[in-house]
Amino acid sequence: MQTEHSIEDRIKELIVQVLELEVNPGEIEDDDLLFGGEIGLDSTATLELTAGIEETFGIKIGDEDLTTALFESVDSLAKLVREKLTVQGKSVLWVR
């Protein structure tokens, strides 16, 4: 049986994996600061997270998209994923 997960939930799972955090992804709030906050995202981790997002959602994140504002929060990342999925004509619901 497949369980439907939101884009935000999957991004949180990727953040935990990439940063090897010992935290439940559900404990990360959608608006938590990723840079400079408790999450501790750095430039190296952003590259790994970007690759994970591209692979997971089947999208391409261009160099023009890679801004500090993009990596501000889970919300900002989810917004870009939704935009890319919509442009590609894919469903914005995520099923794992």
Q: Write out pLDDT tens, residues 45-84.
A: 999 999 999 999 999 999 999 998 999 999 999 999 999 9
Residue 75: which domain range?
A: 4-95
pTM for this prediction: 0.86
pLDDT of residue 11: 97
Q: For position 91, which CATH number holds?
A: 1.10.1200.10
What does the pLDDT look like over 13-43, one tens digit per residue? 999 999 999 999 999 999 999 987 788 899 8
β-partners of residue 94 are 5
How far lies 24's CA from each of 4, 17, 27, 94, in Å? 18, 11, 5, 19
pLDDT of residue 91: 62
How many structural domains comprise the chain?
A: 1
